[in-house]
A = this chain, B = another copy of it.
Amino acid sequence: MTAVNRQIRLARRPAGEVRAEDWGHGSEAVAVPGDGQFLGRTRYVSLDPAMRGWLDDRPSYLPPVGLGEVMRAGSVVEVVASNHPGFTVGDHVVGAFGVQEYALSDGKGAITVDPALAPLSTYLGALGMPGTTAYFGLLEVGALKEGETVLVSGAAGAVGTMVGQIAKVKGCRVIGIAGGPEKCALLTGELGFDAAIDYRSEDVRKALRAHAPDGVDVYFDNVGGPILDAALTALALHARVVVCGAISQYNNESAVQGPSNYLALLVRRARMEGFVVFDYARRYAEAAAEIAGWIGDGRITVKEQVVEGTVDDFPETFQMLFRGENTGKLVLRLT
């Protein structure tokens, strides 16, 4: 146990886009697990747009990452030492272990996963937070019903690919909004969406009128900004807008762009509702089991983008999320 644990810490609160100098690269001696603890070696680090919000010093659903603290991140670790009765050396465990090569844990919030059932990275994606976010957001918050029309933005991302495919499983018509022809081709091709709108080259409002002439019943919003405003012009009566995120606004240095068309909620008797997937923690297993079944049946295709590297590659990999450079779930595999 004389190994070194390299870590990424928050060095400075970013203003707008996160810069290389906002991160600290450090190392410390690998810790020895005490009573009731285990030590895990990180195999996969999750990269999620929501992490950007954790860097700001403002009240949210989680406290901000403190200055100097190891960056919070979901990850899959392999247990390499254990004084915890529930975790054995060789176990693979998912949890919020942070961007570091080794993590000490008391087991709280840690879930053992089986690499024989699914690739480890999938437990950070389709079977992890993005998958359950799509599942509960669409089915519980969105109260989706068979035959409805679903619109999802950030459709080629970790959550969006799952939203669209779950909606198809549920017998809905699905329209995805994504950036660029390759992502749009993926949506309507491999992922089985009914239509895709390329927001970089198309007039989204006009495209929505064409693809959803009778309106959108559930709009699952991952992006906010002008696309949210466009979607609000296309709501069906009694529509539900699921507020999952607003990636277009996370790097704003000025105020968030509020949805100017929010009075469509009144005209269309619609609702806009936010949620945080952590509230469904007690039902993660139920959702993951159902999603795993759909993957097994071939009804859902898992899309992942795996970057290989070290924790020092985290900052640059993180920026891919905000440049639209990833398709599906973005993970960093520590090699």
Contacts and interface: CB of A to CB of B under 8 A. Distances in A.
A269 interface: yes
Interface in A254-294: 255-276, 279
Contact of A272 (B246, B267, B271): B271
B274 A273 contact: no
A260 B258 contact: yes
A141 B304 CA distance: 40
A264 B257 CA distance: 13
A244 B266 CA distance: 7
Interface string A232-245: 00000000000111
A263 B272 contact: no
B259 A269 contact: no
A298 interface: no
A85 interface: no
B258 A261 contact: yes
A229 interface: yes
A335 interface: no
A7 B267 CA distance: 28
Interface in A3-40: none
A59 interface: yes
Classify the interface of chain A: helix, strand, loop or mixed.
loop
B267 A274 contact: yes
A60 interface: yes
A259 B224 CA distance: 12
B258 A229 contact: yes
A276 B263 CA distance: 11
Interface in A213-259: 224, 229, 243-246, 249, 255-259
A245 to B, nearest CB: 7
Contacts of A259: 258-259, 262
Contact of A260 (B60, B61, B257, B269): B257
A55 to B, nearest CB: 15
Contacts of A269: 274-276, 279
Contacts of A255: 260
A221 to B, nearest CB: 10
Given A61-B267, A249-B263, 17 more contacts: A59-B267, A229-B258, A243-B262, A244-B266, A256-B261, A257-B258, A258-B258, A258-B259, A258-B260, A258-B261, A262-B262, A265-B273, A265-B274, A266-B276, A269-B275, A269-B279, A270-B273
Top-7 shortest CB links A-B:
A258-B258, A266-B274, A265-B274, A271-B273, A258-B260, A258-B259, A255-B260
28 contacts: A59-B267, A60-B267, A61-B266, A224-B263, A229-B258, A243-B263, A244-B266, A246-B263, A256-B261, A256-B263, A257-B258, A258-B258, A258-B259, A259-B262, A263-B274, A264-B274, A265-B272, A265-B273, A266-B274, A266-B275, A266-B276, A267-B276, A268-B274, A269-B276, A270-B273, A271-B271, A271-B274, A272-B272
